[in-house]
């Protein structure tokens, strides 16, 4: 049985639709919740791959969240071992940081449903091939990453140029949230800190507007996520190839 390690930061950011896909594919999943275990340092050699989930912190808050530095180092080790790695939102930013790229505040926050466009390289990518020229995708972030050196830029949006990248053939960073279903989004919208952030961005009633838009877009998003993540799961069937990472 293949073993998968998942880095979690807050209880409400979970694997979502990825969970049944991974379990159906025969994975044994271990969560490391750094919110509960900030001193955790799991042995990455015991696992066949890594998924790094989102969270409200940013990559530069290592003084407040020392585990972020631990995560960056473990991400580097996993990539160097040639194992598949997937990062979502904060997870993608941590992968970018592990690969020596800059992470900084984006010019605009994206909270809710936004247009997403694959790049030319994205249209040719195995994971991103199912994406149309434009689709509405769920977002919740204020920071953005540079595309790491030697990585491939896969997707963009009007308000955030760097939405996804691939490094090698089995390391992916996604700024957006294809793992969400409607109950997960509604849970976020009713989490007090997240609701305040959404209302501060879009004004009173913004959480209700996002909930209404979710009914329009979620079916397509879930279907798309199943196809994208299903292809990522196939990365685990390739033989790991060790690689040297760029120096930081």
CB-CB contact of 80 with 243 (8 Å): yes
Question: DSSP 3-state assignment of 61?
Answer: coil
C-alpha distances in Å from residue 73, one per residue of 88, 213, 229: 17, 38, 24
Catalytic residues: 89, 177, 179
């Amino acid at each position: 049985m293949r073993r998968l390690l998942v880095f979690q930061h807050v209880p409400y950011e979970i694997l979502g639709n990825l969970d049944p896909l991974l379990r159906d594919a025969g994975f044994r999943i271990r969560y490391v919740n750094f919110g509960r275990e900030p001193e955790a340092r799991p042995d990455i050699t015991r696992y066949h791959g890594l998924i790094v989930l989102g969270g409200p912190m940013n990559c530069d808050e290592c003084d407040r969240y020392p585990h972020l530095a631990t995560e960056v180092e473990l991400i580097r080790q996993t990539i160097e071992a040639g194992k598949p790695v997937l990062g979502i939102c904060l997870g993608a930013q941590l992968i970018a940081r592990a690969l020596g790229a800059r992470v900084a505040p984006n010019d605009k926050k994206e909270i809710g449903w936004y247009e997403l466009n694959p790049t030319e390289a994205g249209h040719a990518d195995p994971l991103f091939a199912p994406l149309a020229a434009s689709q509405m995708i769920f977002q919740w972030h204020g920071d953005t990453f540079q595309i790491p050196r030697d990585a491939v830029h896969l997707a963009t949006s009007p308000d955030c140029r760097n939405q996804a990248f691939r490094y090698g053939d089995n390391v992916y960073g996604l700024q957006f949230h294809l793992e969400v279903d409607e109950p997960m989004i509604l849970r976020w919208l009713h989490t007090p800190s997240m609701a305040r952030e959404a209302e501060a961005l879009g004004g009173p009633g913004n959480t209700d507007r996002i909930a209404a838009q979710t009914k329009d877009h979620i079916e397509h998003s879930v279907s798309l996520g199943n196809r994208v993540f299903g292809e990522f799961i196939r990365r685990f069937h390739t033989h790991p190839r060790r690689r040297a990472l760029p120096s930081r």
